[in-house]
């Protein structure tokens, strides 16, 4: 006998147009393959999926790194894996901070008991190669970490020159591409990135839960000469790689269904062509930027530093930013986000990631914002 007073009805969420900083909308093809029957984590059919995912990720990261695989966990698990594996107690690390996620790296590096120096740059600006060079002259570091697409500010961090500086100082270059991989080029080998991670639910449009990661042979050498075991057993790459390489040694059960989805999403990027995919992101972002400016709104980041996959918009004087977002969601089924940290209450954040990044979504958002702001002005 049960004595339930609550009725648990069918889950029937209203479909949304997801234009926030992630998750993005999931393509029906990805949803469909995710319903593929379960197989075992060592089933030859799944081993083939694993091999495909690794090959497709190498092509997206533009790398030949043997160790390229999805960490089981969200983007933050990728961040922890990247920092935990390459930092030991007392190791000097330089973290560039120009937004919320740079600050999260500082927090995690501190928990590795590394000796953390931070290079702070105002929110909304990019870090300059000269600043990194000066910081490394003042104090050498084993690892230099920064965020490529800062989702809290909408800045796209140029990587080429900083990569060269980091290499010249003999440090490892660690880059967060959670909000950029799949939306803008991430040329890991060409730039000389040693450790790079991303997230499945942003420009790849897979549900949250996987964090693609790639590690250079140089960084692998450092990993294998660690003095102490990686503090996190779950994120220990020396163990995870044995499952993803030909050894196939059980470590943890891979999220099978998510890997089906990631494989399909990566296949779709391949079909579209990397260059076309990046072109779509920049073209659709330009449509958004021009449309917002035509409505009289101001964008926070100068055009040359803007990240196509995430745009920050200044909230006009006298407008209740949360009320606008509530109306967008309740009346138009459109999700955007508010500002984080220094931009709290002052900015809206509009994401154009993966399958969400389509002109029809931009036009729906522009039309809705225009109506909401005009109604407010006339009331």
Neighbour tally for 81: CB within 10 Å: 25
Contact code string over 99-138 relative to ligand PLP, x by CB under 6 A? --x-------------------------------------
* 158 is a site residue for ligand PLP (CB under 6 A): no
Query: Whole-angstrom Cα distance, residue 358 to residue 368?
Result: 16
* 176 is a site residue for ligand PLP (CB under 6 A): yes
* 151 is a site residue for ligand PLP (CB under 6 A): yes
Going from the C-alpha of 250 to that of each of 100, 121, 240, 245, 354, the distances in angstroms are 35, 43, 8, 11, 32
* 147 is a site residue for ligand PLP (CB under 6 A): yes
The edge-to-edge listing of strands for the beta sheet with 310-314 is: 310-314, 347-351, 337-338
Rg (CA), the chain: 21
- The least CB distance from residue 177 to ligand PLP, in Å, is 8
Nearest to 144 by CA among 174, 169, 119, 115: 174
Q: Which one of the spans 1-9, 69-77, 131-139, 275-283 is the region binding ligand PLP (CB under 6 A)?
A: 69-77
Q: Which one of 63, 72, 74, 361 is in contact with ligand PLP (CB under 6 A)?
A: 74
The closest residue (CB) to ligand PLP is 75
* 208 is a site residue for ligand PLP (CB under 6 A): yes
Tokens read off for 22: 């992630």
Q: Which one of the spans 144-152, 153-161, 212-220, 281-289 is the region binding ligand PLP (CB under 6 A)?
A: 144-152
The residue to which tokens 């503090």 are assigned:
231
* 361 is a site residue for ligand PLP (CB under 6 A): no
Orientation of helix 129-138 relative to helix 160-168, angle to 10°: 20
Range 11-40, binding ligand PLP (CB under 6 A): 21-22
* 321 is a site residue for ligand PLP (CB under 6 A): no
- The least CB distance from residue 208 to ligand PLP, in Å, is 6
Going from the C-alpha of 17 to that of each of 14, 256, 330, 361, the distances in angstroms are 10, 27, 12, 7
**Where does this chain bind ligand PLP (CB under 6 A)?**
21-22, 74-76, 79, 101, 147, 149, 151, 176, 178-179, 199, 208
């Amino acid at each position: 006998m049960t004595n339930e007073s609550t009725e648990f009805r069918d889950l029937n969420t209203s479909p949304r147009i997801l234009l926030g900083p992630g998750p993005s909308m999931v393509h029906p093809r990805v949803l469909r393959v995710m319903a593929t029957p379960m197989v075992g984590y060592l089933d030859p059919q799944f081993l083939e999926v694993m091999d495909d995912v690794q090959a497709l990720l190498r092509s997206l990261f533009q790398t030949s790194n043997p160790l390229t695989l999805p960490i089981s966990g969200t983007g933050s698990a990728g961040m922890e894996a990247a920092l935990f594996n390459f930092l030991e107690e007392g190791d000097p690390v330089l973290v560039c901070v120009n937004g919320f996620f740079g600050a999260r790296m500082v927090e995690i590096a501190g928990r590795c008991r590394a000796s953390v120096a931070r290079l702070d740059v105002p929110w909304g600006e990019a870090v300059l190669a000269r600043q990194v060079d000066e910081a490394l002259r003042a104090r050498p570091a084993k690892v230099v970490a920064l965020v490529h697409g800062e989702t809290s500010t909408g800045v796209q961090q140029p990587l080429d020159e900083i990569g060269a500086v980091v290499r010249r100082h003999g440090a490892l270059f660690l880059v967060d591409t959670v909000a950029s991989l799949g939306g803008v080029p991430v040329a890991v080998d060409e730039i000389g990135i040693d450790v790079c991670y991303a997230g499945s639910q942003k420009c790849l449009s897979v549900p949250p839960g996987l964090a693609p990661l790639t590690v250079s042979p140089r960084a692998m050498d450092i990993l294998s000469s660690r003095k102490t075991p990686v503090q996190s057993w779950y994120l220990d790459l020396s163990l995870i790689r044995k499952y993803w390489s030909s050894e196939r040694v059980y470590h943890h059960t891979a999220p099978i269904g998510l890997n089906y989805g990631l494989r399909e999403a990566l296949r779709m990027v391949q079909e579209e062509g990397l260059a076309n995919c990046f072109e779509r992101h920049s073209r659709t972002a330009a449509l958004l930027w021009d449309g917002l400016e035509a409505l009289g709104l101001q964008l926070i980041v100068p055009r040359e530093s803007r990240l196509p996959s995430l745009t920050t918009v200044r909230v006009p004087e006298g407008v209740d930013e949360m009320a606008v977002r509530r109306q967008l969601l309740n009346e138009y089924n459109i999700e955007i986000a508010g500002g984080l940290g220094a931009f709290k209450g002052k900015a809206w954040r509009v994401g154009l990631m993966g399958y969400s990044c389509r002109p029809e979504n931009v036009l729906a958002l522009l039309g809705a914002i225009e109506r909401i702001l005009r109604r407010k002005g006339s009331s």
